[in-house]
Amino acid sequence: MRIEKHPRRAGSAYGGRPACDNLKVTKGQTVCAYHELMSEMSGTVLLAAPRGYCAGVERAVDAVERALAKHGTPVYVRKQIVHNLHVVRDLESKGAVFVDEETQVPEGAVVVLSAHGVAPSVYDNANDRGLEVIDATCPLVTKVHVEARRFAAHGRTIVLIGHEGHEEVEGTSGQAPERTILVQSPEQARSIEINDPDNLSYLTQTTLSVDETNEIVRILQERFPSIEGPPRDDICYATQNRQDAVKVIAPKSDVVLVIGSQNSSNSNRLAELSQELGTPAFLVDDESDVDPSWLEGAGTVGLTSGASAPDWLVHRMLAWLAERGFADVEEVTLTEERVRFSLPAGVREIPLAIDR
């Protein structure tokens, strides 16, 4: 009798079937449903495009690699440069040292600031320690910081729509902490009390759900008709495009896999969106997180990846799916992204000699 155990499941479910870990007797053998499923599955993969790396992530990862090429190891990085486990591990293996705060970096050392942006106090601390700072803040986050300072300079109260504890929200709030009020949900937008409602502005985190943010803004505009927003949406092009692509593939899929780390805001929004559209979705770091029972009975698997997930993870996932019968791949392209950002000061002149 052959008994095989189910592998541990590491991915998080957004409402799917529970993990398959029951042994069962089939044709006189005790087998795990995991292995039985693998031999039964077949179907198509709908691959979303755009997906994966955005211009801000590409630039931030480049900045760390060029800093390593210029300065050698170690190069310190404040927080995860982007919210992806594989990217962080890869950079660690090349000599990057990740720290939580700039105050942990040895005096005079090189530090790269993450794509999510920082409060002004971080630059002050870095200056005090004589650190050589390479600022990889995404230019689209810097744009929000500039808007926050402009609103604050005009004496306005800022409603910041975003998620508490996210590094980007900490950085944006830090531009005008005494004037910023965080709103995380439509419920909070309905109940928030404002002392000077005629002198009110709003800004948003760049990686939110487009639909939920629109709802929050609508509620704020109803309650505070003179509220002023940014000249252009703060939710970035990459977040918008990846959500638009999920809106197309999710209704045609039986299950959607989103490649991204658990702390990646934009990746979480993709999985939630699919779920809201009625298609079970799972956020996974890579193919080893996928429980084959999630694919049971599926004819079409939707696949996308968050803005901080490198495309080689998608290729690995496609190979894994092909081995299990999902060999037909249809790419659904909504739009071509041509956004590129120039590299941060301090590494612009450095050629990238390291293979990624």
Q: Which of 238, 259, 301, 309 binds ligand SF4 (CB under 6 A)?
A: 238
Q: By the 8 A CB rule, do 30 and 1 touch? A: yes
Name the segment binding ligand SF4 (CB under 6 A); options: 21-29, 38-46, 177-185, 233-241: 233-241
| Distance separating alpha carbons of residues 308 and 305, to the nearest angstrom | 8
Q: Is the CB of 171 or the CB of 302 nearer to ligand SF4?
A: 171
CA angle 233, 340, 285 (to 5 degrees): 80
Instruction: Find where tokens 């995404």 sit.
Output: 138
Q: By the 8 A CB rule, do 96 and 68 touch? A: yes
Bridge pairing between strands 300-305 and 328-333? unpaired
Coil, helix or strand at residue 57: helix
Q: Is the CB of 68 or the CB of 236 nearer to ligand SF4?
A: 236
Q: Which of 173, 201, 206, 267 binds ligand SF4 (CB under 6 A)?
A: 206
Build a one-symbol-per-residue string for 87-126: x at contacts with ligand SF4 by CB under 6 A, - elsewhere. ----------------------------x-----------
| Distance separating alpha carbons of residues 188 and 183, to the nearest angstrom | 6
Site for ligand SF4 in 32-61 (CB under 6 A): 54-57
- Count other Cβ atoms within 10 Å, centred on residue 185: 14
> What is the closest distance, in whole angstroms, from the C-beta atom of residue 229 to ligand SF4 in the complex?
17
Q: Is the CB of 17 or the CB of 166 nearer to ligand SF4?
A: 166
Q: Which of 112, 140, 208, 313 binds ligand SF4 (CB under 6 A)?
A: 140
> What is the closest distance, in whole angstroms, from the C-beta atom of residue 73 to ligand SF4 in the complex?
25
Q: How many CA atoms lie within 13 A of 98 on its CB side?
A: 16
Q: Is the CB of 266 or the CB of 279 nearer to ligand SF4?
A: 266
The DSSP secondary-structure symbol of 310 reads -
Q: Which residue out of 58, 168, 170, 287 is catalytically annotated?
A: 168
Nearest CA to 258 out of 241, 275, 234 is that of 275
Q: Is the CB of 140 or the CB of 250 nearer to ligand SF4?
A: 140
Coil, helix or strand at residue 13: strand
**Catalytic residue status for 168:** yes
Q: What are phi and psi of 144, to 5 degrees?
A: -65, -40
Query: Is there binding between residue 267 and ligand SF4 (CB under 6 A)?
Result: no
> Judged by CB under 6 A, how many residues of this single chain contact ligand SF4?
15
Residues belonging to the active site: 168
Please report, as ranges, the residues that interact with ligand SF4 according to CB under 6 A: 54-57, 115, 138, 140-141, 206-207, 236, 238-239, 266, 307
